[in-house]
Amino acid sequence: MVNLALAWAEAYAEVQPTVSISVSGGGSGTGITALTDKTIQIANASRAMKQEEIETAQANGVDPKEITVAGDAIAVIVHPDNPIDQLTLQQVSDIFSGKINNWKEIGGEDRPIVRVSRETNSGTHVFFLESVIRLGRNDDKTIFSADTLLLPSSEGITSEVGQNLNAIGYDGLGYITPAVKMLNLAANPAGPFVGPSKETALNGTYPIARDLYMYTDGEPTGWVKEYLDWILSAEGQEIVAKLGFVPIS
């Protein structure tokens, strides 16, 4: 999410040159702790605050207010001619960790599976690692199979998956082109299998989607309010779409 926060801050510097916003990374926990310590005005978080975090903040005299600023969904993609239409998260996890190596093991054609991923420095890579490969389990240390292709750009992923019948890949929903087929996914084998879209990502039925939040101390006022209003405006949400996230309006 740090990329998005940086993009907003940079764009806002042109809209409102008198306000200078500095962004630093480190993860959602870092931001929430800093808000609790009153060292920052806005905390970016790619997860909702936990109950104990809210209590700690209130004990410190901070009243965190949550604003949903964008949605984030990952589409799992294959070649349009691949007969597979849907997979469970467990199957996707087994494919990318190297336990399943041929499409016929999950009911497809007899072809080797070629795994395609974003580079390790991409936020999408980490989100996919945590929520799909490790299925959200913190103690799980499963990682990508060593033969996974690590491509430096989204164009690379859609074009390799779009022309190679063996390939399976993933990317942020906003980057997906019509040249590939998006799979319907389900968190458990009984279903329901849901395809990724703006709606299913925002209403929570698509299993690999999350909301991105900003937290402020109390109701935002002054320049903070202006900044947040701008982020939620069409102009701010355009940046969301440009970075491959899901705009909320």
Tell the burial category of 75 from Cβ atoms under 10 Å away from its Cβ (0-12, 13-18, 19+): buried
Question: Minimum Å distance from CB 2 to other proteins?
Answer: 9
Bond prior to 192 in cis (omega within 30° of 0): yes
Count of residues of this chain found to bind other proteins when the rule CB under 8 A is applied: 28
Q: Out of 58, 68, 120, 203, which residue is the one contacting other proteins (CB under 8 A)?
A: 120
Cβ distance to other proteins smaller for residue 88 or 122:
122
Q: Out of 143, 187, 241, 248, which residue is the one contacting other proteins (CB under 8 A)?
A: 143
For 126, the token pair is: 């980490």
Cβ distance to other proteins smaller for residue 140 or 226:
140
DSSP code string of 59-103: HTT--EEEEEEEEEEEEEEE-TT-S--EEEHHHHHHHHHTS--BG
Query: x/- site string to other proteins, residues 152 to 191, per CB under 8 A?
Result: x---x--xx--xx-xx------------------------
Question: Minimum Å distance from CB 228 to other proteins?
Answer: 26
Cβ distance to other proteins smaller for residue 115 or 196:
115
Q: Out of 35, 40, 57, 151, which residue is the one contacting other proteins (CB under 8 A)?
A: 151
Cβ distance to other proteins smaller for residue 111 or 198:
111
Cβ distance to other proteins smaller for residue 164 or 177:
164
- Alpha-carbon span 127 to 114, nearest angstrom: 20
Taking Cα atoms as reference points, which of 45, 52, 151, 135 lies closest to residue 97?
Answer: 135
- For 212, which DSSP code? E
Query: x/- site string to other proteins, residues 26 to 65, per CB under 8 A?
Result: ----------------------------------------
Sort strands 184-186 and 64-78 into parallel, antiparallel or unpaired: unpaired
Distances (CA, A) of 174 to 57, 69, 128: 34, 16, 15
Q: Which residues does residue 172 pair with via DSSP β-bridges, in sequence order?
A: 74
Catalog residues that contact other proteins under the rule CB under 8 A: 25, 111-114, 119-121, 125-126, 129, 141, 143-144, 146-152, 156, 159-160, 163-164, 166-167
